[in-house]
A = this chain, B = another copy of it.
């Protein structure tokens, strides 16, 4: 039985793979400087690590041309993402963590937990498909749901939409969103939009509907799906 051995990649390698997975989205290879920013290290550190990751077979690396994950690298990265999202779900659901403070804790734990622990947590939660931010949780097989939502900045004025996922990670902005009642599952109507990347006005549905202004930068990170118009 090829059971749950902890192949135990170093913490650094796991962090690099996760960053590359997030940056290479949509076919574009990840850039060295973007990885450096994402991990808060200097570019030469990234170049050095890319060479090691390439030799280890995790990435396809053509110097000066950016980097994409191999199948092996992608699987490894998705495993970390699964850990992170199960951890966030568990900490919020079972240990009273807040939406905005849970990220850092999960960030450290994701490198230390065993597969067994993650699966026990997943079971205790009833195998959730989305984490508290609305992001899909990769399966143990390494599949992840391809999201079909669009940014709030792309919802036409007058439409009703449902918030599906919050991309922002900044605790302060997450706290702000919580005060607006804007968490995954909330529905709202787009009231108006300022031109030239201006803020968006929405009316959040609920027992006490309330109008809110959302800055463009934040709106870009709110991923939504449009709700069917009443036909007739």
A124 in contact with B95 (CB, 8 Å): yes
Of the candidates B95, B111, B116, B120, the one whose C-beta lies within 8 Å of that of A112 is B111
B94 in contact with A117 (CB, 8 Å): no
A96 is an interface residue with CB less than 8 A from chain B: yes
- Compute how far the CA of A111 lies from the CA of B108 in the bound complex, rounded to whole angstroms: 9
A95 in contact with B109 (CB, 8 Å): no
Please give the distance in Å from A206's CB to the nearest CB on chain B: 30
A105 in contact with B94 (CB, 8 Å): no
Of the candidates B91, B95, B105, B120, the one whose C-beta lies within 8 Å of that of A96 is B120
- Compute how far the CA of A97 lies from the CA of B114 in the bound complex, rounded to whole angstroms: 12
Q: Which residues of B contact A116 (CB under 8 A)?
A: 105
A42 is an interface residue with CB less than 8 A from chain B: no
A112 in contact with B109 (CB, 8 Å): yes
A95 in contact with B121 (CB, 8 Å): yes
A86-117 contacts to B, CB under 8 A, are 91, 94-97, 104-105, 108-109, 111-114, 116-117
Q: Which residues of B contact A95 (CB under 8 A)?
A: 117, 120-121, 124
Q: Could you show 9 A-B contacts with beta carbons less than 8 Å apart?
A: A95-B117, A97-B120, A104-B114, A105-B114, A108-B112, A108-B113, A109-B109, A109-B112, A112-B112
